[in-house]
């Protein structure tokens, strides 16, 4: 019953955050970051299982694993960017949150470039 | 027919896989970017088997983006690579040995009293000179005395005294050791024919 643990932890954290936001906003941000990290670590094992399944599916579909690895990296970057942006927004730093999102977007585009070039090269070859 | 069956099966797996990926996409401003990347992944995953069906070389071109060796094959390839490297080193050492032997012959023959030189060198694994064996044939005194006319080299060295031989040996060893930066113990000089 991992979900019960997550819900319990989330409720406790929320209540603490409500109190701390008024008394000590800095501590509230720290608590928010700690909660994010704990949840992330908690889900690490489950994520490994998902990735293993994807690897297996990729192998069976005879897809080059490079593409799948790139997609997984992109999803990872997107999640991390989202988490960081959410923490920044919680702290009231919307500008910083926007910058984090911007960086995440750029990194995602850069990571997807090899796939795009591979598609374009194949298309060019087909057209010749 | 079997190839088509395989493609359809692969496409089905790709659809399931990408549906699964769709579930994993994060919310927020980054989502369209990730969707774009996933879309391209679908295109390339579908394109790959189709291209390999139409043009055999296309699949290779795509796979070159991430050419990864299988574990068993990589060891074999590494082994073959090392063997080729060893052959190249050996061939290079042979060439270097021939050239160096020629150089040593040319230098040693300049020593007065030496008529013919034949050297044999040993090169270490790292390409360094290890030992040099030099076989000398000195000119006979009769031939040396004849300033003009045809000089015939007999190959016999018995006319030289041991002191003269020793002197020539020392000179050759000295010149060669200084020329190639070797110690005198690495150089052996012998007179052919006694």
SS3 labels along chain B: CHHHHHHHHHHHHHHHHHHHHHHHCCCCCCHHHHHHHHHHHHHHHHHHHHHHHHCHHHHHHHHHHHCCCCHHHHHHHHHHHHHHHHHHHHHHHHHHHHHHHHHHHHHHCCCCCEEEEEEEEEECCCCCEEEEEEEEEECCHHHHHCCCCCCCCCCCCCCCCHHHHHHHHHHHHHHHHHHHCCCHHHEEEEECCC
Looking at the fold, whether A84 and A60 belong to one and the same domain comes out as yes
Looking at the fold, whether A105 and A53 belong to one and the same domain comes out as yes
Q: Do A62 and B49 touch (CB under 8 A)?
A: yes
Q: Do B30 and A62 touch (CB under 8 A)?
A: no
* pLDDT range class, residue B123, cuts 50, 70, 90: confident
* Per-range mean pLDDT, top range of A12-16, A55-59, B36-40: A12-16
pTM attached to this predicted model:
0.54
Looking at the fold, whether A24 and A59 belong to one and the same domain comes out as no
User: Whole domain around residue A17: which residue ranges?
Assistant: 1-42
Q: Which residue has the tokens 């990296």?
A: A73
Residue B126 has pLDDT above 60, yes or no: yes
Looking at the fold, whether A11 and A68 belong to one and the same domain comes out as no
Looking at the fold, whether A29 and A57 belong to one and the same domain comes out as no
Looking at the fold, whether A67 and A118 belong to one and the same domain comes out as yes
Domains: count for chain A:
2
* pLDDT range class, residue B119, cuts 50, 70, 90: confident
Do the beta carbons of residue A61 and residue B61 sit within 8 Å?
no
* pLDDT range class, residue B72, cuts 50, 70, 90: low
Q: Do A75 and B26 touch (CB under 8 A)?
A: yes
Interface of A with B in 28-67 (CB under 8 A): 50, 54, 57-58, 60-67
Residue B150 has pLDDT above 70, yes or no: no
Q: Which residue has the tokens 């209540």?
A: A15
Gap from B37 CA to chain A (nearest CA, Å): 6
Residue A99 has pLDDT above 90, yes or no: yes
What is the token pair recorded at A10?
């989330």
What is the token pair recorded at A5?
């643990």
Q: Do A118 and B44 touch (CB under 8 A)?
A: yes
Q: Do A78 and B13 touch (CB under 8 A)?
A: no
Do the beta carbons of residue B165 and residue B191 sit within 8 Å?
yes
What is the token pair recorded at B114?
């030496």
Looking at the fold, whether A16 and A67 belong to one and the same domain comes out as no
Looking at the fold, whether A72 and A108 belong to one and the same domain comes out as yes
Contacts of B29 in chain A (CB under 8 A): 85, 101, 105
Choose among B40, B39, B58, B41: nearest CA to B49.
B58
Looking at the fold, whether A60 and A5 belong to one and the same domain comes out as no
Average the pLDDT over B46-72 and give the result: 62
Gap from A93 CA to chain B (nearest CA, Å): 16
Query: What ipTM is given for this predicted complex?
Result: 0.77
Looking at the fold, whether A49 and A23 belong to one and the same domain comes out as no
Looking at the fold, whether A80 and A63 belong to one and the same domain comes out as yes
User: SS3 of A61, please?
Assistant: coil
Interstrand relation of B187-191 and B129-138 (parallel, antiparallel or unpaired): parallel
Looking at the fold, whether A56 and A29 belong to one and the same domain comes out as no
Q: Do B17 and A112 touch (CB under 8 A)?
A: no
Contacts of B51 in chain A (CB under 8 A): 122, 126
Do the beta carbons of residue B194 and residue B178 sit within 8 Å?
no
Candidates B9, B12, B30, partner chain A, best to mutate (most A CBs within 10 A): B30
Gap from B35 CA to chain A (nearest CA, Å): 10
When the candidates are 3.30.70.1350, 1.20.210.10, 3.40.50.10800, 3.10.20.30, the CATH number that belongs to B93-191 is: 3.30.70.1350
Contacts of B61 in chain A (CB under 8 A): 121-122, 125
């Amino acid at each position: 019953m991992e979900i019960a643990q997550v819900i319990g932890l989330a409720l406790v954290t929320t209540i603490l955050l409500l109190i701390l936001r008024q008394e000590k906003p800095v501590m509230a941000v720290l608590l928010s970051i700690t909660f994010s990290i704990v949840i992330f670590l908690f889900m690490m094992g489950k994520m490994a299982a998902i990735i293993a399944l994807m690897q297996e599916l990729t192998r069976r579909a005879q897809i080059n694993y490079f593409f799948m690895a790139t997609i997984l990296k992109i999803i990872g970057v997107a999640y991390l960017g989202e988490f960081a942006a959410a923490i920044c927004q919680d702290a009231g730093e919307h500008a910083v949150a926007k910058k984090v999102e911007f960086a995440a977007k750029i990194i995602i585009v850069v990571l997807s470039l090899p796939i795009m070039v591979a598609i374009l090269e194949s298309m060019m070859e087909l057209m010749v | 027919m079997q190839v088509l069956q395989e493609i359809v099966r692969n496409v089905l797996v790709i659809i399931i896989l990408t549906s699964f990926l769709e579930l994993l996409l994060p919310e927020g401003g980054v989502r369209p970017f990730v969707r774009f990347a996933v879309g391209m992944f679908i295109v390339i995953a579908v394109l790959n088997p189709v291209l390999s069906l139409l043009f055999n070389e296309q699949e290779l071109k795509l796979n070159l983006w991430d050419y990864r060796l299988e574990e068993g094959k990589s060891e074999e390839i590494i082994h073959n690579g090392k063997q080729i490297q060893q052959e190249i080193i050996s061939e290079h050492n042979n060439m270097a040995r021939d050239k160096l032997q020629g150089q040593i012959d040319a230098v040693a023959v300049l020593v007065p009293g030496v008529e013919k030189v034949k050297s044999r060198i040993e090169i270490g694994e790292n390409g360094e000179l290890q030992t040099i064996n030099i076989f000398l044939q000195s000119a006979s005194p009769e031939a040396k005395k004849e300033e003009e006319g045809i000089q015939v080299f007999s190959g016999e060295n018995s006319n030289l005294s041991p002191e003269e031989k020793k002197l020539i040996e020392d000179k050759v060893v000295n010149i060669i050791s200084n020329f190639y930066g070797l110690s005198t113990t690495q150089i052996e000089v012998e007179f052919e024919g006694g």
